[in-house]
Amino acid sequence: MLALGKLLELTLAGREPTEKTQLTVDGVRMRWLAEGALEVRPPQAHDNGMDVLLSAGIHGNETAPIELLDRLLHAIARGEIKPRARILFLFGNPGAMRTGARFIEEDLNRLFNGRHENSSGPEALRACELEHLAETFFNQPDRGRLHFDLHTAIRGSKIEQFALYPFKEGRAHSREQLARLRAAGMEAVLLQNKPSIVFSAYTYDQLGAEAFTLELGKARPFGQNDGVNVERLELRLRQIIEGTEPSLENASLDGLQLFSVAREVIKHSDAFILHLEPNVENFFELPKGYLLAQDTSKNSWVIEEEGARIIFPNPKVKNGLRAGLIIEPVKAEAFA
């Protein structure tokens, strides 16, 4: 197997490869760009015009997606997967990956869309570098652009595998992309309704990619991910890479649950209280009239929405950041 196929091994060891470019026996070019960053380019005659960014490890302790990308890279390096798309593989936060931590100083996935300019430290520098790598990768006109940013969650979830679909003013969410997510094993999709500062929001908003954050289960250490089933996603990624993905036109959305963001719960001060058990799961249902959170005397969140649920509850975030999302169901008929 080509040495560059061992990108994860190089990243965890903090080593730079001696050879920056290698070719497979089929003429697929693998090029090391920076720490944790590898571009894969098919022979020109086999290029189908699709550019695919696959990122994982934005949080260093979310290992199942990292291992998934590692398997795909190994298969490409061995010639078992024959790409027809250009692919950029990114391991987001190498320093945190090496220590098994979520981050070193601050959450990398809250530093995109310019947010890193107001910060300092390793994550701010890395966010800037990842934006540059993505921008350079997606700089060729008239090509398809797709970004899957793969994660696992801090806590359990009543809906284990789900996607977050970013928002951009004037750009509609795509039924075909929802069908792609369903085929990749996503049980639910959260349709966002305002700009965000996560990595997939940057590539969606600024670079014109179809981009998604995928939550695949609960975070576990390396080698302990038997409980995270990514078989459907792995198959779909192989098909996208090889150009054999079944048509998405008229594909079914049956069984896919859709939600929209009703409100953000923002922690304004150290007085913030979230009235939930510490181990509450994502998609926990909230009854109408329930007092979800309180902050200062002027800030409280009482549930008004029908069928409301909570995702990403975290009262320990820094002041000014989101401590949870109140979401509500959306009818799939809207995308018929």
For residues 12 and 98, state if they share a domain.
yes
Distance separating alpha carbons of residues 24 and 31, to the nearest angstrom: 11
* Burial state string for 260-274 with b = 16 or more CB within 10 A and e = fewer than 16: bbbbebbbeeeebeb
Residue 68 to residues 8, 161, 309, Cα–Cα distance (Å): 11, 15, 29
Residue type, 161: Q
From 242, 277, 292, the end of a domain falls on 242
Range of the domain at 180: 3-242
Query: Out of 160, 215, 245, 281, which one is annotated catalytic?
Result: 215
Residue 36 lies in a domain: yes
31 strand-pairing partners? 21, 39
Q: Distance between CA atoms of 144 and 82, rounded to whole angstroms?
A: 18
74 is in an annotated binding site: no
CATH number of the domain to which 317 belongs: 2.40.50.630
The CATH number for 146's domain is 3.40.630.10
Sign of the torsion angle spanned by Cα atoms 316, 313, 125, 68: positive
Residue 129: inside a domain, yes or no?
yes
Q: Is 116 a known ligand-binding residue? A: no
Identity (one letter) of the amino acid at 251?
A
Q: Is 147 annotated as a binding residue?
A: no
> Counting Cβ atoms within 10 Å, is residue 85 exposed (0-12), middle (13-18) or buried (19+)?
buried
Residues 86 and 219 both lie in one domain: yes
pLDDT, tens digit only, all 336 positions of the chain: 889 999 999 999 999 999 999 999 999 999 999 999 999 999 999 999 999 999 999 999 999 999 999 999 999 999 999 999 999 999 999 999 999 999 999 999 999 998 898 888 999 999 999 999 999 999 999 999 999 999 998 788 999 999 999 999 999 999 999 999 999 999 999 999 989 999 999 999 999 999 999 999 877 777 777 767 899 999 999 999 999 999 998 888 999 999 999 999 999 999 999 999 998 999 999 999 999 999 986 789 999 999 999 999 999 888 988 899 999 999 877 775
Buried b (16+ CB within 10 A) or exposed e, 218-246: bbbeeeebeebebeebbebbbebbbbebe
Q: Is 245 a catalytic residue?
A: no
Q: Which of 242, 276, 306 is the last residue of a domain?
A: 242
Q: Are 93 and 59 in contact (CB under 8 A)?
A: yes
The verdict on residue 248 lying in a domain is no
Q: Number of structural domains, the chain?
A: 2
> Looking at the structure, do residues 143 and 88 belong to the same domain, yes or no?
yes
Same domain? For 173 and 46 the reply is: yes
Q: Does residue 180 form part of some domain? A: yes
* Enclosing H/E stretch for 150: strand 144-153
Q: Where among 190, 210, 242 does a domain terminate?
A: 242
Over the Cα atoms of the chain, what is R_g? 20
Same domain, 183 and 58: yes
